[in-house]
Amino acid sequence: MGIKKYIGDRAFYKTAMTVAMPIMLQNLITNLVNMLDNLMVGSIGTEEMSGVAIVNQLLFIFNLAVFGAMGGVGIFTAQFFGKGDNEGIRYSFRYKIIISVCLALVAIGIFCVFDENLISLYLHDVEAGADIAETLGFAKQYMALMLIGLIPFAISQAFSGTMRETGDTFAPMVIGLTAVVTNCVFNYLLIFGKLGFPVLGVRGAAIATVISRFLECILVIAYMLIRKNRFSYMKGLFSSLYIPADTFAAITRKGMPLLLNEVLWSMSMSTLGIAYSLHGITVVAAYNISSTVTNLFNMAFLSLGSSLGIIVGKLLGAGKYEEAVDTDRKLIAFSMFVSVIMGTSLFIVSGYFPGLYNTTDEVKQIATYLIRVCACTGPIVSFANAAYFTLRSGGKTVVTFIFDSGSMWILSVPIAFMGYYVFGLSIFVIFPIVQLLEIVKVILGAILIKKRVWVNNIVE
């Protein structure tokens, strides 16, 4: 078959893009709005931008914990849907609601008690002109308000994730876009005090986000209740919180490693942020800019990874194993193709985006360099991401735990700190080394996919 086995026909890509495009479009708008938010906060000053960036690094752990929990349970939802088991979907949905609220309450407690200690991990007085105390103050203001939106955010993810896993990716996209546009509008009004609103700076940015979180939660719940004939599993969903013991145990056994993986992976990314912050506030600001810009371009192949999990999971649940293998192979190839295009585009325009920020020339120069490194390593990250979702679709959550978090804590994090403390390397050397470590995941992922360890039906 040669190269043809990696290329689908027109019907294949139409089906794939039907699932991927709404997710991709939502992520595109979300990342565009995040960039606009970033630019608005950054226009106030470097300390404000750095304070917000630090808090977002910490909240990233909570966000990924929620995504991990929803994803772990979502494996069952997708396969129950492929099997046509509405009762099973109800059980997994209830599980999502319970765990999402619990995660939010735990996160609020941790951040309320340890806010200053956690923020201070990123603040290192190693350069002249950096106001550490001022950055800490802005970060605390921002975090105190952001905690209000954690519960509605977690609940909305449970609802929108279930919609996607049961075939409706369009409605979550529209609702998500409404929320991010609302966030952007209120950011403009509240950060700068437009149209009679007070000038609130970073507090305004937090309030805008909280407003959008509540709006998204209300809209997604209302939509599913109104369209309960479309979502037949909604009937009787709230009659109780009952989940059979065997189903609860199965979801916990398969889903909790994924939750733990997302928590540890997000913690490793935040810890990498701490390692990079050792080089000073300038690098914190540059890393924030580069991450925002890179996420905008990477969303295409990252969205394809998410859709891969949904499409392949449904095929596995229906017992169509060979079709699942063939579909997975073609989707991975498609994701790699997209990553090359997006990486090339990102490299070409890498110097333009940092120039939009109201910050120092040094920050802009470092940010441009970091963006170019990410552009070059995009295809590597793309394959690793697709491999992760492939393994996850078949319920291999323990394997994905080792594959994802294990590589970060064993390789990336120690090397980032050793590069600074032991070898005295600059960020210009440490950052590309850490990015290239994704090759280890590529090799491991390729082996596991070829061995077909992920070809499983977990809801038989």
pLDDT in tens, 111-149: 999 989 999 888 876 554 457 888 889 999 999 999 999
pLDDT number for residue 427: 94
Residue 148 burial by CB count (10 A; 0-12/13-18/19+): exposed, middle or buried? middle
Q: What is the mean pLDDT of residues 424-439?
A: 94
428-452 per-residue burial string, b: 16 or more CB within 10 A, e: under 16: eebbbebbebbebbbebbeebbeee
pLDDT surpassing 80 at residue 400: no
Q: Which two tokens stand for residue 27?
A: 């992520």
Minimum mean pLDDT range among 43-57, 326-340, 422-436: 43-57
Q: Which two tokens stand for residue 254?
A: 């398969």
**Which of the listed ranges 93-107, 173-187, 249-263, 270-284 does the model predict with the highest average pLDDT?**
93-107
CA torsion 419-423-429-431 (nearest 10°) is 10
- The letter for the amino acid at 192 is F
pLDDT surpassing 90 at residue 412: yes
pLDDT number for residue 311: 85
Name the residue with tokens 């979300």.
30
- Residues 233-290 pLDDT 10s: 888 888 888 888 988 898 888 777 777 877 888 888 889 988 998 988 889 889 988 9
pLDDT number for residue 208: 94
Quickly count: other Cβ atoms within 10 Å of residue 21's Cβ. 17
pLDDT number for residue 1: 52
Quickly count: other Cβ atoms within 10 Å of residue 252's Cβ. 16
- Residues 290-327 pLDDT 10s: 988 898 888 887 888 878 887 888 788 778 888 888 88
DSSP letters for 355-415: GGSSS-HHHHHHHHHHHHHHHHTHHHHHHHHHHHHHHHHTT-HHHHHIIIIIHIIIIIHHH
What Å distances lie between residue 69 and 149, 239, 403, 422, CA to CA? 18, 23, 17, 37
DSSP 122: T
What Å distances lie between residue 79 and 82, 181, 320, 458, CA to CA? 5, 33, 11, 8
Torsion-angle region of residue 124: left (phi > 0), alpha (psi -120 to 50) or beta? beta
Q: Which two tokens stand for residue 316?
A: 């596995």
pLDDT surpassing 80 at residue 459: no
pLDDT number for residue 80: 85
Query: For all residues of the chain together, what is the average pLDDT?
Result: 86
pLDDT number for residue 130: 54
pLDDT range class, residue 460, cuts 50, 70, 90: low
pLDDT range class, residue 30, cuts 50, 70, 90: low
pLDDT surpassing 70 at residue 458: no
